[in-house]
Amino acid sequence: MSKLPLTNYNIFYLQGDNTVDDMDVVETLGLEPQVAYTPDINTAAIEKMRKANLEDYLKNGIPEDKAKSMANFHATAAKAAVEAAMREQKKQFAS
């Protein structure tokens, strides 16, 4: 019984960089391996980066309200980019 090729869903792959495998993203960001090859990879990556951005903003002295707003803004923009790429690829993005 042969396995079907795994589908990459990471934003880089969706935007045309066929050299980036979902496991590359999982390993780089320290995500749970089960999100690889599912649309959930982008949700997990965006949330991981939102938290990291918030932490960095706070460490740099940005007030908490402003830091949260900035981190959420960037997360929302990333989610919109993923949704657009998924639509273009005709795949469903898991919210």
End-to-end CA distance of the chain: 33
Query: CB neighbours of 37 closer than 8 A, spacing ≥ 6?
Result: 6, 7, 8, 9, 22
Domain positions in the chain = 12-89
Name the stretches of the chain with pLDDT < 70: 1-4, 91-95
Torsion, CA 73, CA 75, CA 77, CA 82, rounded to 10: -170
| Secondary structure letter of residue 32 according to DSSP | -
Could you tell me if 35 and 9 are in contact, meaning their C-beta atoms sit under 8 angstroms apart? no
Would you state the structure tokens that stand for residue 23, as one six-digit string?
């496991």
- pLDDT tens for 35-59 read 999 999 999 999 999 999 999 999 9
